[in-house]
Amino acid sequence: MRIAFLLVALLLACSGAGASRQQVAPDNDVDVTAGWNAYRASDQARAVAHYRKAADRNNRVAQFNLAVMLLAGEGTTADPWSGVGWLRRSAELGFAQAQFALGLLYERGEHVTRSQDEATAWFRKAAEQDYLAAQVGLATQYFLGRGAPRDLKQAAQWYERAADQGDEASAYIIASFYEKGEGVEQDYQRAWYYYSRAASGGEPAAVMKVREMRGKLPR
């Protein structure tokens, strides 16, 4: 139960998919729409029934929503095995949220055999679709050398892409890379720019770095 709710929190915090708590908004499938409406009306059991119908028709949104509910035991008995199965089917159909979620399960070893290689592979698939949380996850895998050889150049690339989507923590990290010349060519102007981005979000350490970097900028 704990991992399911953690997974949901991460997905919604990073994806803009949280208009109705755990669920991804419906597409044009009648059962996905009905499931969405049932979920919003707090009729989780009916939502599961509708999502299952659409999932059986290979609707990837329904597969993802059904997976989340099965993992959480919401509207049905918790069934991690089936939940992971539906999550995988959605991920294999290219749904970025599902790809990231599956990668997260592999990274943590929750309901699957832990595999950093699998985590990195799924994070990459979602990151290449500009899914913010996956970009951060992939950057961190490269930074730590998990599921891939340690590669600061790749880490910098993905942290910068996440920063450019508005992730303040990534902005701080890529700023430090530019300041130190790690994974990128040293560039105090770029460092100051990204520290400023992080500072605008209220990060105290970034505010101090902005002041510090001013003294290093060309006059």
> What is the reported pLDDT for 15?
40
> What is the reported pLDDT for 202?
83
Contact in structure between 66 and 51 (CB atoms under 8 Å): yes
What three-state secondary structure class fits 23?
strand
> What is the reported pLDDT for 62?
95
Fold of 1-150: 1.25.40
Q: Where are the domains of the chain?
A: 1-150, 151-219
The distance of Cα 110 from the centroid of its chain, to the nearest Å, equals 16
Q: What whole-number distance in Å separates Cα of residue 22 and Cα of residue 65?
A: 8
Contact in structure between 179 and 186 (CB atoms under 8 Å): yes
Strand partners, 126: none
Instruction: Look at domain 151-219 and name its CATH class.
Output: mainly alpha
Assess whether the region 1-150 and the region 151-219 belong to the same CATH fold: yes
- This prediction has a pTM of 0.85
Q: What whole-number distance in Å separates Cα of residue 183 and Cα of residue 145?
A: 14
> What is the reported pLDDT for 22?
53
Cβ-Cβ contacts under 8 Å for 112 (sequence gap 6 or more):
84, 105, 106, 118
> What is the reported pLDDT for 203?
82
Contact in structure between 207 and 215 (CB atoms under 8 Å): no
Q: What whole-number distance in Å separates Cα of residue 119 and Cα of residue 137?
A: 9
Q: Would you give per-residue pLDDT tens digits along the chain (219 residues)?
A: 333 333 333 343 344 333 334 566 566 799 999 999 999 999 999 999 999 999 999 999 999 999 999 999 999 999 999 999 999 999 999 999 999 999 999 999 999 999 999 999 999 999 999 999 999 999 999 999 999 999 999 999 999 999 999 999 999 999 999 999 999 999 999 999 999 999 998 888 999 999 888 877 876
Q: What whole-number distance in Å separates Cα of residue 160 and Cα of residue 171?
A: 7
> What is the reported pLDDT for 26?
61
Q: What whole-number distance in Å separates Cα of residue 164 and Cα of residue 137?
A: 15
Among 69, 68, 135, CA closest to 102: 68
User: Cα-flanking dihedrals φ and ψ of residue 218, to 5°?
Assistant: -60, 145
Q: What whole-number distance in Å separates Cα of residue 51 and Cα of residue 73?
A: 14
**Rg (the chain; Cα; Å):** 20
